[in-house]
């Protein structure tokens, strides 16, 4: 029974990452509809604040008992959340959702390439990179040219995404449960207060805006961050990074369904490549786990530290 539970850990982790990849871009698509009223920075602030409130009520963290190391991890995690989200929303205010997510993925892709230790992992990273490149090219030669400032914003977001993955793994390791996520969102909400006050005043007087902001918070923060934190307890960081290559595919779908952004043949080819990379990585993890359990001479896959 214990062996069966152990072998299911990668599959559960993969399912959690896919759930995050489904939720996050649809939340971003909903958020984009609030940009004309609140602006990208105001939407970011409202999304993070509402998500923090919901998780604090649900999780009821007890930070008074935390050590200095736990507090440091939570604060750095919150900083990465605030910066990553703010710059990404500033980017999708200027460039389409699909290409924006593709470019932002350069962050975790670089992390996966740095951390990989097997030739097969490196090969799947290469396949995912080709898919990302095709999505970026599609954005450059398509009907909607990419705004240079939007590209700069999303590259900054990609850098903070690397920090988010590292700090999310750290929080998951040193803080049990979801208390670290809840307090990380509180830290992010506090950091975004200067840009959030005007948005809060606007939302307070319009129930429809408040509902859309709450939906954005649930889809873009509560669900994906909870799933990713749990996934990082089950998957190595390098595998987690490549599996996130599914996100541009779902972002393309969300952009088409919610925002009416078209999916060209080149973009569909890119989607096929990132799905192939994700499937290949998943199968590789399962085979490695079986070898680890089958004999004493195979080295285990290292968990996030």
- The highest-confidence range among 103-112, 151-160, 257-266, by mean pLDDT, is 151-160
- pLDDT of 5: 44
The reply to whether 303 falls in a domain is no
Contact 151, 145 (CB under 8 A): no
The reply to whether 304 falls in a domain is no
Q: Pick the residue with more confidence: 20 or 117?
A: 20
Nearest-angstrom CA–CA distance, 107 and 161: 6
pLDDT beyond 50 at 2: no
- pLDDT of 116: 66
Residue burial 80-108, b: 16+ Cβ < 10 Å; e: rest: bbbbbbbbbbbbbbbbbbbbbbbbbbbbb
- Per-residue pLDDT band for 262 (boundaries 50, 70, 90) equals low
- Domain hosting 51: range is 2-294
Nearest-angstrom CA–CA distance, 304 and 88: 25
Q: Which one-letter DSSP state was computed for residue 222? A: I
The reply to whether 107 falls in a domain is yes
- Per-residue pLDDT band for 302 (boundaries 50, 70, 90) equals very low
The reply to whether 146 falls in a domain is yes
- pLDDT of 80: 94
The reply to whether 77 falls in a domain is yes
- Per-residue pLDDT band for 73 (boundaries 50, 70, 90) equals very high
**Least confident among 76-80, 94-98, 163-167, 169-173:** 94-98
Task: Tell me the pLDDT tens digit for each residue of 217-247.
Answer: 888 888 887 888 788 778 876 677 677 767 7
The reply to whether 300 falls in a domain is no
- pLDDT of 4: 44
- pLDDT of 6: 46
The model's pTM is 0.74
Nearest-angstrom CA–CA distance, 7 and 27: 32
Name the domain count of the chain: 1
Report the chain's C-alpha Rg in angstroms: 19
- Identify which of 82, 101, 81 has the alpha carbon closest to the alpha carbon of residue 91: 101
- Per-residue pLDDT band for 305 (boundaries 50, 70, 90) equals very low
Tokens linked to 289:
């786990």
Decide: residue 40, CB within 10 A, 0-12 exposed, 13-18 middle, 19+ buried. buried
The reply to whether 167 falls in a domain is yes
């Amino acid at each position: 029974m214990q062996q069966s539970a152990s072998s299911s850990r990668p599959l559960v982790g993969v399912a959690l990452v896919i759930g995050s990849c489904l939720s996050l871009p649809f939340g971003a698509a909903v958020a984009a509809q609030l940009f004309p009223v609140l602006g990208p920075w105001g939407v970011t602030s409202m999304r993070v604040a509402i998500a923090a409130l919901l998780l604090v009520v649900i999780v009821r963290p007890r930070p008074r008992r935390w050590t200095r190391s736990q507090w440091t991890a939570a604060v750095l995690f919150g900083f990465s959340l605030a910066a990553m989200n703010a710059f990404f929303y500033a980017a999708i205010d200027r460039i389409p959702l699909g290409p924006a997510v593709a470019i932002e993925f350069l962050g975790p892709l670089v992390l996966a390439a740095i951390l990989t230790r097997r030739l097969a992992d490196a090969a799947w990273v290469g396949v995912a990179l080709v898919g990302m490149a095709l999505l970026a090219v599609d954005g450059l030669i398509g009907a909607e040219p990419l705004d240079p400032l939007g590209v700069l914003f999303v590259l900054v977001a990609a850098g903070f995404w690397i920090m988010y993955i590292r700090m999310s793994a750290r929080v998951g390791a040193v803080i049990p449960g979801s208390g670290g996520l809840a307090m990380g969102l509180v830290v992010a909400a506090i950091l975004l207060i200067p840009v959030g006050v005007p948005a809060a005043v606007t939302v307070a007087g319009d129930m429809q805006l408040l509902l859309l902001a709450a939906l954005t918070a649930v889809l873009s923060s509560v669900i994906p961050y909870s799933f990713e934190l749990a996934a990082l307890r089950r998957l190595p960081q390098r595998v987690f990074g490549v599996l996130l290559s599914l996100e541009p595919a779902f972002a393309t779908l969300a952009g088409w369904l919610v925002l009416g952004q078209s999916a060209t043949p080149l973009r569909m080819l890119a989607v096929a490549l990132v799905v192939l990379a994700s499937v290949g990585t998943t199968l590789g993890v399962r085979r490695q786990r079986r070898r680890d359990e089958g004999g004493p001479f195979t080295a285990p896959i290292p968990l996030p530290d």
